[in-house]
Amino acid sequence: MTGKIRIGVIGASGYTGADLIRLAVRHPAIEITALTANTYAGKPVASVYPHLAPLNLPDMVKNEDVDWSKLDAVFCGLPHATSQELIATLPEHLKIIDMSADFRLRDPAVYEATYGGPHKAMHLQKEAVYGLTEHYRQAVKQARLVACPGCYPTATLLVLLPLVKAGAIDAGDLIIDAKSGVSGAGRSLKQNILFCEAGEGMTPYGVATHRHAPEIEQEIAVVAGKPVLVNFTPHLIPMSRGELVTAYAKLAQSATAADCAAILALAYKNEPFVHMAPQGIFPATQQVRGSNNVMLGAYADRIPGRVILISALDNLVKGSAGQAIQNFNLMFGLPETQGLEQVALFP
């Protein structure tokens, strides 16, 4: 493709929209042509995010005021249940990278049970590709609509899928303990994410009811060849970004933790963004902050026959905007790492 690829960011005033802009503005093949935020229509992005003030960006507009014919692709960062209706109205020539939950679940009954209402664009669900890049790369390349995974599923599935596929762990006995920075709860005003509520403490939420559990189960079932149920509990921790997943699994047959580490290393040996933690070091959010990288590790449990699996990523980058650009690159035949070369910020 010659020339710049003209993109729009729908929902530019959210955290994922802002991080998408931060990454896209330095992408050599991208021209940011439209930014939407109905609440802030007519205002510059700097009025919401002053750190973006030095950039030459268009003002934010309402969704209905965008001339879609002047765009080649859109990134959608709207809340769940709002993306589907807008995406259904977009012209066929647009490639769509959806960072919401609207097209992740393939079964309409599961979607309705999980999100509290029927899916309103099931005709598009049939063509949507689940955008876990490392496991759906070839399908992403051919897709018009990609549904980027949630941040928790990304961290969880990257460490579990190769092991379930290899038969090294029992897919029917998985305990997933997940922790996210407060940006994972979104930018809207909620009592539980006020500083005095979220600071200086750690809080479980969505216990046994979190919406990412069915998404995790859907993808594990694909490689397990049978339905699965997982024990998934997320927590908010008092930092802005970052995510750490610790999964506890029963080893299958004679497999060991060392076998699990070897399987993961082999599965991701040619992947630019998924890495095994160095010997003697545990994955940590500090190792991936601000980058599109994921750090994995597998360790023997004190309980015989069990393994502890750890995955760390930045929930706003590899867990959202970075993975979206990674998929965008594939959809347009660009180098997969383009625009995503940032080294993690430390300290």
Q: Tokens 């007519």 appear where? A: 42
Strand partners, 175: 231, 248
Beta bridge partners of 7: 32, 73
Nearest of 40, 146, 14 to residue 87 by alpha carbon: 146
Q: Report whether 128 contacts 147 (CB < 8 A).
A: yes
Catalytic residue of the set 76, 151, 196, 260: 151
Residue with tokens 């109205």: 89
Tell me the CA distances in angstroms from 337 to 92, 102, 165, 231, 322, one per residue in order: 27, 26, 26, 33, 10
Look up residue 113 and give its amino acid.
A
For helices 133-142 and 151-165, the axis angle rounded to 10 degrees is: 100
The helix/strand count (H/E) of the chain reads as 10, 14
Distance in angstroms (rounded) separating the CA atoms of residues 115 and 105: 10
76 in catalytic set: no
76 forms beta bridges with: 10, 98
Tell me if 260 sits within 8 A of 268, measured CB to CB: no
Give the H or E element holding residue 138.
helix 133-142
- Give whole-number Cα distances, 103 to 111, 140, 199, in Å: 9, 14, 33
Structure tokens at 309: 């699996």
Question: Hey, which residues are catalytic here?
Answer: 151
